[in-house]
């Protein structure tokens, strides 16, 4: 992760802008004086820089929860803040170079709001969950130019590399998203997806609740797939294969195709390595045979007037409120110049949303974006609104 080690953190006047970077406000942890968050805007990306005081120096880096997909915007924000504040840099892993020429005019990278506001339609849509090196995604896109491919990945270097290749290969049928695929599936319209690829997902043997394949994921996959559409799981993990097979077969009605050591048109560098090691590769393909009802989710993320005193809101630090099918966890609380801010986990237990809530005397808003408009998030929002409304 890009970061600067600085001799001593210096706070600037907020707000101010320089070199295309806007520093909007600072939030100070109400319970830990050694942590602050700086709101930054770069190229329409809103995110936080995190300041952490250490024994004899301070650390300045991007906040993991809000950091944008573009690592270059993080680099620019870090270096610009150091410049504006005139801080002494002790060490840095942030390169002082211009953005790669192939990434100058990237249009393939989208945020979740792009899909939530108006999901793109095409003759056929295909989704790849965790595209890694991008070999499979890019190959499929180049061979099927009339199909729209959506690649989902959370590993930043992989995202940057695939965006570069999309530009070099001049592909206009690929969109890239940095987001939790389990949440993303909840906003995909019904019956429009031809294939969903889940190739070599992390097995999560010690944390099975984090696995992509789950009962809820399979239900959403069945809904978004067209009749005859396929969900393709490919894994080298015997445990993941056995778990996934049992999860698929638990459904009252399902059609599966099972393969072992099947060759496909393109493979990742990891698959090539595993084949040399003579590891078995398992394929589980679910075929959807029924048309689903149209996706309809009603509700909003508007807030009522704030009636609870800020002192009581700050006291929510560490509190968890559970409700049928979900929860809200008040992870941390921060003090603003003109209000307070809460870091939240909310929604369903197996695929929660993580974000911030900014509260001022006359308003409340999520930062940097509203939660995904899912049924569980709307229920969580209702409970949260009741908490701050009193």
pLDDT in tens, 279-288: 899 999 999 9
Domain count of the chain?
3
Radius of gyration of the chain (CA): 23
Residues 113 and 249 both lie in one domain: yes
The more confidently predicted of residues 340 and 297 is: 340
With a cut of 70, say whether residue 309 has pLDDT above it. yes
pLDDT value, residue 316: 93
Q: In whole angstroms, what is the distance from residue 205 CA to residue 58 CA?
A: 36
With a cut of 80, say whether residue 325 has pLDDT above it. no
Is residue 301 one of the residues assigned to a domain?
Answer: no
pLDDT value, residue 44: 84
Residues 177 and 213 both lie in one domain: yes
The last residue of one of the domains, among 36, 61, 92, is 92
Cis peptide before 368 (omega within 30 of 0): yes
pLDDT average, residue stretch 11-34: 96
pLDDT average, residue stretch 38-48: 93
Residues 151 and 211 both lie in one domain: yes
Residues 168 and 41 both lie in one domain: no
Between CA 6 and CA 18, with CA 12 as vertex, the angle to 5 degrees is: 95
pLDDT average, residue stretch 315-319: 94
Is residue 295 one of the residues assigned to a domain?
Answer: no
Kindly indicate the confidence band of residue 376, based on its pLDDT and cuts at 50, 70 and 90: confident
pLDDT value, residue 79: 95
pLDDT average, residue stretch 220-229: 97
pLDDT value, residue 40: 97
Kindly indicate the confidence band of residue 293, based on its pLDDT and cuts at 50, 70 and 90: very high
Residue with tokens 């570069």: 164
Is residue 316 one of the residues assigned to a domain?
Answer: yes
pLDDT in tens, 225-279: 999 999 999 999 999 999 999 999 999 999 999 999 988 888 777 788 878 888 8
With a cut of 90, say whether residue 157 has pLDDT above it. no
Residues 283 and 316 both lie in one domain: no
Measured over the CA atoms of residue 123, residue 198, residue 373 and residue 38, the dihedral's sign is negative
With a cut of 80, say whether residue 69 has pLDDT above it. no
Residues 261 and 194 both lie in one domain: yes
For 74, the domain range is 3-92
Between CA 275 and CA 286, with CA 280 as vertex, the angle to 5 degrees is: 115
For 8, 9, 21, 31, 73, the CA distances from 60, given in Å and listed in that order, are 10, 8, 16, 19, 14
Residues 79 and 110 both lie in one domain: no
Residues 124 and 262 both lie in one domain: yes
What is the three-class DSSP state of 44? coil
The model carries a pTM of 0.83
Is residue 298 one of the residues assigned to a domain?
Answer: no
Residues 149 and 262 both lie in one domain: yes
pLDDT in tens, 160-191: 899 999 999 999 999 999 999 998 999 999 99
Residues 59 and 187 both lie in one domain: no
Residues 384 and 327 both lie in one domain: yes
């Amino acid at each position: 992760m890009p970061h600067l080690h600085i001799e001593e953190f210096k706070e600037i006047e907020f707000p101010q802008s320089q070199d295309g970077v806007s520093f909007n406000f600072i939030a100070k942890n109400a319970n830990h004086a050694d942590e602050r968050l700086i709101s930054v805007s770069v190229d329409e990306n809103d995110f936080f820089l995190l300041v952490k005081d250490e024994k004899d120096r301070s650390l300045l880096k991007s906040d993991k929860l809000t950091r944008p997909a573009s690592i270059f915007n993080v680099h620019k924000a870090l270096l610009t803040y150091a410049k504006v504040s005139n801080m002494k840099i002790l060490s840095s892993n942030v390169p002082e170079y211009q953005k790669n020429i192939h990434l100058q005019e990237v249009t393939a990278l989208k945020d979740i709001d792009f899909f939530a506001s108006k999901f793109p339609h095409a003759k056929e849509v295909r989704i790849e969950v965790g595209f890694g090196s991008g070999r499979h995604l890019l190959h499929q896109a180049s061979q099927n130019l009339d199909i729209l491919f959506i690649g989902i990945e959370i590993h930043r270097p992989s995202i940057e590399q695939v965006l570069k290749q999309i530009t070099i290969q001049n592909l206009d049928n690929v969109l890239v998203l940095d987001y939790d695929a389990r949440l993303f599936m909840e906003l995909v319209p019904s019956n429009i997806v031809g294939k969903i690829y889940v190739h070599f997902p992390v097995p999560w043997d010690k944390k099975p609740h984090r696995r992509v394949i789950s009962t809820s994921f399979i239900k959403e996959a069945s809904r978004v797939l067209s009749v005859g559409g396929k969900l393709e799981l490919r894994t080298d993990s015997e445990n993941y294969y056995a778990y996934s097979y049992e999860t698929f077969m638990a459904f009252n009605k399902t059609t599966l195709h099972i393969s072992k050591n099947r060759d496909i048109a393109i493979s990742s560098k990891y698959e090539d390595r595993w084949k040399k090691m003579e590891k078995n590769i398992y394929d589980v393909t679910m075929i959807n045979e029924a048309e689903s009802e149209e996706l309809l989710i009603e509700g909003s993320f508007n807030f009522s007037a704030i009636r609870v005193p800020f002192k009581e809101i700050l006291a929510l630090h560490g509190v968890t409120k559970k409700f049928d099918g979900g929860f809200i966890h008040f992870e941390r609380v921060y003090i603003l110049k003109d209000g307070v801010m809460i870091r939240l986990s909310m929604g369903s237990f197996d695929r929660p949303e993580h974000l911030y809530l900014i509260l001022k005397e006359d308003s409340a808003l999520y930062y940097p974006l509203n939660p995904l408009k899912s049924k569980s998030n709307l229920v969580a929002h209702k409970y949260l609104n009741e908490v701050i409304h009193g």
